[in-house]
Amino acid sequence: MDACCLVAVKPAGLLSVPGRGDDKQDCLATRLQAIYPDALVVHRLDMATSGLWLMARGLAMQRRLARAFEQRQVHKRYEAAVAGTPSGTSGEIALPLAADWPNRPRQQVDHVHGKPSLTRWQVLGPGPLPGTTRLALEPVTGRSHQLRVHLLAIGHPIVGDALYAPPDVATAAPRLWLHATDLQLAHPGTGESMHWTSAAPF
C-alpha cells in the first residue's frame, strides 16, 4: 500500500464490490474505503474466488490502472485445484465466451456470439484431494468466470465450484478452490515493476 495503490487479499465468499440489494452491500471495496476513502475499484474477483485484489488511490491512478488492465499490461496468475488430470503438462484454452442470459450469472462457450477468450494453464502437481490436479492459470483475456468456464469446457471443472461443476465435484470442497496468487504491473506512479504474491490456502 502507498499513495498510489493498495493491494489486499480477498477472502472467498466476500464480494469485491457492492451488489444489488441491501444484503449485498458488504464487500471488500467498502471495507477498504472505510480506511482509505480515496480507494477506487479497477477490477473484480468473483465472490467465490480468493486472492490478490488491487485498488487505485484517487481518480488519476484509477485511470492509469484501468488503462493498464485494458492494454493487458497487468499480469495475473491464479492457482486452482481441478477434477481429474489434464493431458500434457501445459496448454491453452481458446474458446469464445458469452453470458448465458436465461441462467445469469452463468457464462457459456458461445461460438456465434462469444468474445474471444484465452487461458493458459500449467500443471503444478497433484491437488489436495485424490483425483485432483493443481494448476497454475493465466487469463490472457479477462472475461467474467473465464477460468471456471474454460476448465469446465475441457472436462476439468474447478473443485468446489457450486455454479459450474457437477455435484460430486462442487461439494468435494467447502469453497471454490481458485486463488489469485500473483499480480505484476508497472507502478502507476513511478513506473517501477511491482510483483505481489499470495499462497493458495488449499
Q: List the domains of the chain with CATH numbers.
A: 5-72 (3.30.70), 77-178 (3.30.2350.10)
- Give the Cα separation of 118 and 149 in Å (integer): 11
Cβ neighbours of residue 177 closer than 8 Å, sequence gap 6 or more: 80, 81, 127, 128, 158, 159, 160, 200, 202
DSSP characters over 131-157: TEEEEEEEESS--TTHHHHHHHHTT-P
Which of 120, 114, 135, 119 is closest to 200 using CA atoms?
A: 135
For residue range 109-152, what is the model confidence (pLDDT) as tens digits? 999 999 999 999 999 999 999 999 999 999 999 999 999 999 99
pLDDT-derived band at 46, boundaries 50, 70, 90: very high
What is the structure's pLDDT at 118? 98
What is the residue whose three cell numbers read 499480469?
75
For residue range 68-114, what is the model confidence (pLDDT) as tens digits? 999 999 999 999 999 999 999 999 999 999 999 999 899 999 999 99
Residue 169 backbone class (left: φ over 0; alpha: ψ -120 to 50; beta: rest): alpha
Catalytic residue IDs: 46
What is the structure's pLDDT at 22? 82
pLDDT average, residue stretch 36-63: 97
Do the beta carbons of residue 27 and residue 14 sit within 8 Å?
Answer: yes
DSSP characters over 21-60: SGGG--BHHHHHHHH-TTEEE-----TT-EEEEEEEESHH
pLDDT-derived band at 21, boundaries 50, 70, 90: confident
Q: pTM score, two decimals?
A: 0.95
